[in-house]
């Protein structure tokens, strides 16, 4: 079964995956986002479960996602 993601969702999920991989952590999309995608409904948010320290993941994701000005 395939889940269709728009370009923005693909970009966000790629950043989530990159942050988790850099920290050697498992992370999963769960909850309503997955359900709504399977039912082809509109999604507004996503829930992420991290195996390990969520705070470390958040800091890595912010570093990967927020532009830094020099």
Per-residue pLDDT of the chain (70 residues; tens, 9 = 90+): 788 899 999 998 888 888 888 888 888 999 999 999 999 999 888 888 888 776 777 777 777 776 655 5
> 9: exposed, middle or buried (C-beta count within 10 Å: 0-12, 13-18, 19+)?
middle
Domain boundaries defined on the chain = 7-65
Exposed e or buried b per residue across 12-41, where buried means at least 16 C-beta atoms within 10 angstroms of its C-beta = bbeebeebbeebebebebeeebeebbeeee
Cβ pair 4, 39 in contact under 8 A: no
Q: Would you say the pTM of this structure is higher than 0.85?
A: no
């Amino acid at each position: 079964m395939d889940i269709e993601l728009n370009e923005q969702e693909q970009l966000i999920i790629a950043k989530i995956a990159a942050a988790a991989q850099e920290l050697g952590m498992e992370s999963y999309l769960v909850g309503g986002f997955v359900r709504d995608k399977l039912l082809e409904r509109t999604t507004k948010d996503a829930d992420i479960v991290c195996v390990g320290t969520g705070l470390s993941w958040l800091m890595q994701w912010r570093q990967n996602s927020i532009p830094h000005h020099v």
